[in-house]
Structure 1
Amino acid sequence: MHKLRYTLGLTAGLMLAFSASAQSVEFTKDQFSDNKDGLKTALKDLKQGDEWYQSDPPRFEQALPHYLAAQELNPNNALLNFKIGHCYLNSPYKSKALPYLQKAYKLDAVVDARIRYMIGRGLHLNARWQEAIAEYKAAMPAPGTKNSTALQNDIQKKIRECESGLVLQKNATRAFIDNVGATVNSPFADYGPVITADESVLLFTSRREGGVGDDKDPDSGGYFEDIWQSVKGADGKWQPARNLGETVNTKGHDAVVALAPDGQRLITYVEDSGGDIHQAELQGTTWRKPQTLGRRVNGGQSHEPSAAYAPNGRMLYFVSNGGGEGNRGGHDIWRIDIEGKGKAENLGSVINTPYDEDGIFVHPDGKTIYFSSQGHNSMGGFDTFKSVWQNGQWSKPENLGWPINTPDDDVFFVLSASGRHGYYASSRDDSQGSRDIYMITFLGPEKPPVLSAEEPLLASRAAPVRQTLLAPAVPIATAQVTILKGTVTDADTKKPIDATIELVDNTLNQNIATFGSNASTGRYLVSLPSGVNYGIVVRKEGYLFHSENFDLPAGAAFSEVVKDIPLKKLDVGAKVVLNNIFFDFDKATLRKESTAELERIVQLMTTEYPSLRIEISGHTDNVGKAVYNQDLSQRRAKAVVDYLTGKGVPASRLTSAGYGDTQPVAPNTTKQGQALNRRTEFKVLGK
């Protein structure tokens, strides 16, 4: 139940000022002599409510309905109003606490030593910043009283949060915040959304009926947590959510905390050994049972409530309160290479504070993280922050601002690869349950108005519409990442293939990451942060490999590319384009970015298929003279063959051919077509 664990730690023993108060009405026979049955029922509700309220730990959610029932008979009892307010402060509906607390104080100014502090909390949670500051100051304990230093520090922090709220609300973030709807949300608590990079799949945690086991937690009275999934239909709308099934969900609590950008792996939270995270893999359409990530991540009795994959799938960011080297206090954010053997690294004091951090999310651009923190310039509880890796360090965390952040806890925010849509859980007026999942649409900076002297077109309107000169467009910032997705199929049968997809940095000749297409659907998705010349290689035993090239300069804006890849069987006559072979302009000199692709051919011919015979052919567009083009293409093909023979491939198994502009694959009437025609091909001559 870690997603709902953030409860208000209210301070006891605060000194307060006395004021004139109205009379509190007690639950006695004298007061309700004309309604003895009602009094009897109310006293029963009070007793039942107190049993929950005074339990260890207090069960505010269970106590509240009993107190509200008793209040229907007597709305003017100071202590009951105080307890109702206290329960609301520890519920998803914290903002409802204020009128009850204010009434309790009006009825009896000494109803509880914490009343002024709690009124301050109620005002704070309703974003009434200045009034909250005044109440907090009134609740400040006198120096020398019991626990005065700790209480003063707590109140001073709350005051700083209100001061942050004042500033952030005045400079609100332009965004729409919309409930994602009844196909996803239920009358119960729904929270912790995670998405694929292209927003096609949404996983979330829910305490609704219909889960695995469909039992209720005896401690809270609510249904056990389960993980549910919704996918986007062809109309762009979320389809009815379905339970992820017994391989992932158990009869106890199961919560999702992370989903890989391609949706092929997920991380779940399991309440064992203090609270650990596990990983599950998607095999076709079925999720495998989650497996622990081991002691390098889950330490002893430490608590690991959230995690996130980096785009390469190897680096894992996670939250832990473990006492490892570098811990800053409470829950910190760490990162680790889950395929390596090294220790986890603390993200440092720029990100982690003496307070708790949680809800880590790594954007598909590979350099931006979003996380929640009780520190920094939070306006109350956990706020969501953004930080970017720049020049070898994390930038100062930036509060996402009002109304995305509120005075209450704002945790577990995720963002689409485009940077336009965020998802999180919140309790709002249009919520169907105690918490619902919402989508945030970021609007970017406001377009400045341009005045015009034209006459009104609709003079009868209160705000006449005028013809205006168009202001320059205000660009909406998008993420610097490209999403490449599609399906891998057999070129002949058209059936999906579970192929291996390698991501290579051509400049550094390094393998960045390895992914796979789905065994049942053939679907794949790769996130490509800008600033890299990428080679993408799709492999499957018995097939010719397929290569693609994406040279994304630094700062390249978001784009989504759909590329279906039909793999060809390794048969005589089959041929593929070597998209990661590069030459200097108008020359036959191989560039260093070609090394990875060339070495791939060497491995294919020396290790995988030691008797394979191939033709390497060069092709050009139709710019220039045909004789020159034929000669250039021949020299380029020979350069590739020379490289391969230099690496030990027998010359008898290699043929080079230059076809100039005689075999175009696209019209030469456009630059795009000409680029496709300038290519190097690989053709199987014999096996």
Structure 2
Amino acid sequence: MLLNSCLAVAQSCPKSENKKALRFQEEAESAYKSRKYEDALDASGKAIDADPEYADAYLLQGYAALKKRSFGLAEESLQKAIELCESVDPEAYYQLGWLYYDLKKWKESERYLSKFTGHDRINEEHGAKAELMLARAKLYAHPVPFDPQPVKDLSTPDPEYLPYISPDQDLAFFTRRFELKDKNMLVPQSVEKFMLSKRTGLGVYERGAPMPLPFNQASSNNEGGATITIDNKHLFFTVNTKGNFDICTSDRENGQWGEIRNLGPNVNDPKQWDSQPTIAPDGKTLYFASARDAATGIDLYVTTRSDDGTWNKARKLPPPVNTNGNDKSPFFHSDARTLYFSSDSLPGLGGYDIYFSRQDEKGNWSKPVNLGYPINTEADEVGFFVSTDGKKGFFSSNKLNNGAGGFDIYSFDLYEGARPGKVYFQKGDLNGPEDADPLPATIEIKDAVTRKLTRIDVDSVTGEYAFVVNFDHDLLVSVKKEGYAFESQYVSRKDTARPLVVTSDLQLKKLEVGAQYPINDILFGTNSSEINDTIKTVLDDFAEYLQLNPKLRVGIQGHTDNVGNPGDNMALSERRAKAVFDYLVGQGITATRMTHKGYGETKPLFPNATEAGRAKNRRTVFVVSQN
């Protein structure tokens, strides 16, 4: 790129007081305007000899050197001009920025282009080019960690692409092309199959097998590009039937996949490409890509499911996520905030780059952020998704040299700045009384700081549940049902040993007069009866439970282990039971509905010989006196 504009000399730099230098400078300017660049170089050099502090002479020498493609001299001269006069013609910053960009000296290019774009009097054409170069220089100047490794067994010598791993990481969906050999075939046939693989260990999967019927039928050309709800029961994917790409769904019940159903005209355009679905953790919000608007190319859309199961009219996502170019390959993370997608129109390295944008509580999307180099390159990067814990990125590629062959599925450690918000994922069964059918119930998850409440319905047929929520603060998971005992679990962010997905079966116990029921996670400090923040969170929820059961009368009991003096333990347990009683009264529970008593170490449930046993004996329970 050479200078196209006429010579522009800075007016704010001091003129030389050397008459000889001024005369040579005038000759140089005249020669430059006449496009006699060799003469301009000669005259400006003489001006510099006469006055080595003459900024305008260095500036002109740099411009003339660019015209002569003497880039070393141009670099030296323009740097000197800026050194002598920082307010020199801003074009000098642009030309140096471009020069270093061409030399792949990214940090130097970033420095000069940043100064150029921050100037208020710049060439409009160069301003647009500088913004693009600056964006790329920044990416190259600050590479992000990237060490992709093929996912074992999912990657084979056959091509694998369009990968997706379920939020609980148990199931991997992808497409594989391979040679189908049959004794009735004269020659092997190349086929493309929608595949399913199950996890066998931490990050380890089976080789995979074609999805069973009703998938992979001959009536459809191909299927793939899957996404699944957090309970692994509702699958969304793309079906290509005779060149028409539509988003379809299938539900899993009793381990079997049901019929494939088209999501219908509110989601799919009858003639245009609709593909690449990604389901939100609520199971009701679906993002996808579509080419239905010819004026703006491929765009990102969102649709929501009504309570009756129908999907509402899809709408285009607003800027800054959608651009005037092509935007596709969305992945909406389980944090319900972070959207990853590919675009060929946002500032990037060329082709499709991967970006992420975060949605705030008002539904507004942040300015997309490029995922960085070398994750993004001058080629196309699409089909990216992130593990539920936010630590791993996944994609398919045939451009790396450490795969099994052709397109393979890769994973890498995603750097901190590009990770989604931290989430807590729990699944399991809600069990009622023995031999009883599953109970209709709702699980509540409460943020211990903001008190934000999320409610999850338990499957009324199977008793199964699954939820994923933001993990910005500690959480309290509870089940409150009239006529049944209070059940809760306190989840602390400090527990770093927690698995990615917590499997926990919750138990609903029928209330019986005289029976004891634990209030979990009432953990007092050593020799203390102080109600700390954790205990407050639990007791606030227990108070709500008592309000839900207005006829219930309870006795609050405190118990200790056998460490220390029995008398002291008795007194401590009484103080703790009284502290719980007083706090509940303060939360609006009538005092006449409750009693309190401490039992010290006299009623252990487990042997005190081990720390585990002693921990279980340190407990607070409630006893039903009236129901």
TM range (shorter): 0.5 to 0.7
Q: For residues 335 and 476 of structure 2, what CA distance do their matches in structure 1 show?
A: 17
Task: Specify whether residues 575 and 256 from structure 1 end up closer, same or farther in structure 2 by C-alpha distance, changes over 3 A only.
Answer: farther
CA contact (8 A) 2:444 2:479 kept: no
Instruction: Determine helix, strand or coil for the equivalent of 1:185.
Output: coil
Secondary structure at the counterpart of residue 351 of structure 2: coil
**Are the counterparts in 2 of residues 255 and 270 from structure 1 also a CA contact under 8 Å?**
yes
Q: Where in structure 1 are there 5+ consecutive unaligned residues? A: 1-128, 133-155, 216-220, 445-475, 607-611
CA gap 1:300/1:177 in 2 versus in 1, 3 angstroms: same
TM-score (norm 2): 0.60
Deviations 1:66-88 (A, max 9, x none): xxxxxxxxxxxxxxxxxxxxxxx
Corresponding residue number in structure 1 for 2:505: 565
1:424 to 395, 401, 416: 395
Question: Within 5 A, what are the aligned runs for 1:8-19?
Answer: none
Q: Normalising to structure 1: TM-score of the pair? A: 0.55
For 1:435, the aligned partner's letter is: F
Residue 243 of structure 1 pairs with residue 210 of structure 2: yes
Classify 1:316/1:236 alpha carbon distance in 2 versus 1 (closer, same or farther; 3 Å).
closer
Task: State the Cα distance separating 1:376 from its structure 2 match.
Answer: 0.8
Distance, in Å, in 2 between the alignment partners of 1:256 and 1:351 is 21
Cα distance, 1:348–1:486 mapped onto 2, change above 3 Å: closer
- Partner residue, 1:178: 149
Q: Secondary structure at the match of 2:574?
A: helix
Task: Tell me if the contact between 1:165 and 1:407 (Cα under 8 Å) persists in the aligned partners.
Answer: no
Query: What does residue 318 of structure 1 align with?
Result: 288
Shift of 1:332: 2.6
Partner-residue secondary structure (3-state), 2:205:
coil
**1:438 and 2:405 correspond:** no
C-alpha change, 1:591 and 1:419, in structure 2 (3 Å) is: closer
Larger radius of gyration: 2
Kindly report which structure 2 residues correspond to 1:382-531, keeping only aligned pairs within 5 A, or say none. Answer: 382-389=352-359, 392=362, 393-428=364-399, 429-432=401-404, 434-442=406-414, 480-485=421-426, 487-488=428-429, 502-505=443-446, 512-514=454-456, 516=458, 525-531=466-472
Instruction: Classify 1:635/1:157 alpha carbon distance in 2 versus 1 (closer, same or farther; 3 Å).
Output: closer
Contact 1:487 1:517 in 2 (8 A): no
User: Does residue 309 of the first structure (1) align with residue 312 of the second (2)?
Assistant: no
- Does 1:376 pair with 2:324? no
Equivalent residues of 2:540, 2:587 under 8 A apart: no
Q: 1:260 aligns with which of 188, 206, 229?
A: 229
- Assess, with a 3 A threshold, how the Cα gap between structure 1 residues 574 and 675 changes in structure 2: closer, same or farther: closer
Report the CA distance between 1:549 and its aligned residue: 2.8
User: Alignment RMSD, CA only?
Assistant: 5.4
Q: Aligned partners of 2:622, 2:295: CA distance in 1, in Å?
A: 55
Rounded Cα–Cα distance in structure 1 between residues aligned with 2:146 and 2:313 = 40
**Does the C-alpha gap of structure 1 residues 185 and 677 become closer, same or farther in structure 2, counting only changes over 3 Å?**
same
Residue 350 of structure 1 deviates from its aligned partner by 1.6
Q: CA deviation at 1:404?
A: 2.0
Q: Which runs of 5+ in 2 are unaligned?
A: 1-100, 105-126
Residue 371 of structure 1, CA deviation: 1.0
Q: Report if the CA contact (8 A) 1:415-1:422 is conserved.
A: yes
Q: Distance in 2 between matches of 1:440 and 1:496?
A: 44
Deviations 1:290-343 (A, max 9, x none): 4444444335545431222333334333333456xxx99233333444246876
State the Cα distance separating 1:415 from its structure 2 match: 0.9
Aligned amino acid, residue 259 of structure 2? K
**C-alpha separation in 2, matches of 1:498 and 1:420:** 36
Q: Deviations over 1:44-95 (max 9, x none)?
A: xxxxxxxxxxxxxxxxxxxxxxxxxxxxxxxxxxxxxxxxxxxxxxxxxxxx
Could you tell me how far apart the structure 2 residues matched to 1:495 and 1:414 are? 41
Displacement of 1:515 in angstroms is 5.7
Instruction: Give the 3-state SS of the residue equivalent to 1:418 in structure 2.
Output: coil
Please name the residue that 2:191 is paired with: 223
Q: Secondary structure at the match of 2:212?
A: coil
Counterpart amino acid of residue 214 in structure 2: T
Once the two structures are superposed, residues 218-257 of structure 1 have per-residue CA deviations (whole angstroms, 9 ceiling, x without a partner) of xxx952442x122222465222202221134433122133
**Secondary structure at the counterpart of residue 577 of structure 2:** helix
Look up the equivalent residue of 1:223 and give its one-letter code: V
Q: How far apart are 1:558 and its partner, in Å?
A: 9.0
Instruction: Tell me which amino acid in the other structure corresponds to 1:512.
Output: T
Q: What is the CA–CA distance in structure 2 between the aligned matches of 1:591 and 1:566, rounded to whole Å?
A: 22
What is the correspondence of 1:633-648 to structure 2 with a 5 Å cutoff? 633-634=577-578, 636-637=580-581
2:296 is matched with 329
Residue 352 of structure 2 corresponds to residue 351 of structure 1: no
Distance 1:237 1:682, change over 3 A: farther
The structure 1 residue matched to 2:163, chosen from 193, 206, 213, is: 193
Rounded Cα–Cα distance in structure 2 between residues aligned with 1:672 and 1:531: 32
* Partner SS for 1:331: strand
Q: Is the 8 A contact 1:186 1:208 kept in 2?
A: no
Aligned residue identity for 1:404? I
Alpha-carbon spacing, 1:661–1:319, altered in 2? closer, same or farther (3 Å): farther
The AA in structure 2 aligned to 1:259 is I
Output the CA distance in 1 between the equivalents of 2:259 and 2:137: 47
Closer, same or farther: CA 560–658 of 1 in aligned 2, 3 Å: farther
Residue 286 of structure 2 aligns to a residue whose secondary structure is strand
Does the 8 Å CA contact 2:546/2:589 hold for their aligned counterparts? Answer: no
Distance 1:538 1:356 in 2: 46
> Cα–Cα, structure 1 residues 632 and 401, in superposed 2: closer, same or farther, change >3 Å?
closer
Contact map agreement 1:196 1:263 (CA 8 A) in 2: yes
Deviation at 1:398, TM superposition (A): 1.8
Tell me, yes or no, if the aligned pair for 1:385 and 1:399 is still in contact at 8 Å: yes
Which region of structure 1 is more displaced relative to structure 2, 240-249 or 621-630?
621-630
**1:546 counterpart residue number:** 487
Contact 1:486–1:563 under 8 Å retained in 2: yes
Output the CA distance in 2 between the equivalents of 1:501 and 1:193: 33
Task: For residues 639-674 of structure 1, give each alpha carbon's deviation from its aligned partner in whole angstroms, at most 9, with x where no partner exists.
Answer: 76998987xxxx9xx765544655577879999987
- Please give the alpha-carbon distance, in whole angstroms, between the structure 1 residues aligned to 2:314 and 2:560: 52
Distance (whole Å) between structure 2 residues aligned to residue 390 and residue 627 of structure 1: 50
Separation (CA, whole Å) in 1 of partners of 2:217 and 2:553: 54
**Is 1:279 aligned with 2:252?**
no
Q: Contact 1:487/1:524 (CA < 8 Å) preserved in 2?
A: yes
Any idea what SS the aligned residue of 2:376 has?
Answer: coil
Deviations 1:162-215, CA, capped at 9 Å, x for gaps: 88666534433212111223x22344432121123343322112334569xx99
- Is 1:367 the counterpart of 2:347? The answer is no
Aligned position for 2:12: none
Give the structure 1 partner of residue 57 of structure 2: none
Structure 2 CA distance for partners of 1:562 and 1:351, relative to 1, 3 Å: same
Report if aligned partners of 1:509, 1:593 keep a CA contact under 8 Å in 2: no
Distance in 2 (CA, whole Å) between partners of 1:435 and 1:377 is: 27
Conserved in 1, the CA contact under 8 Å of 2:555 and 2:625?
no
Percent of aligned pairs sharing the same letter? 20
Matches within 5 A, 1:131-170: 168-170=139-141
What SS does the aligned partner of 1:277 have? strand
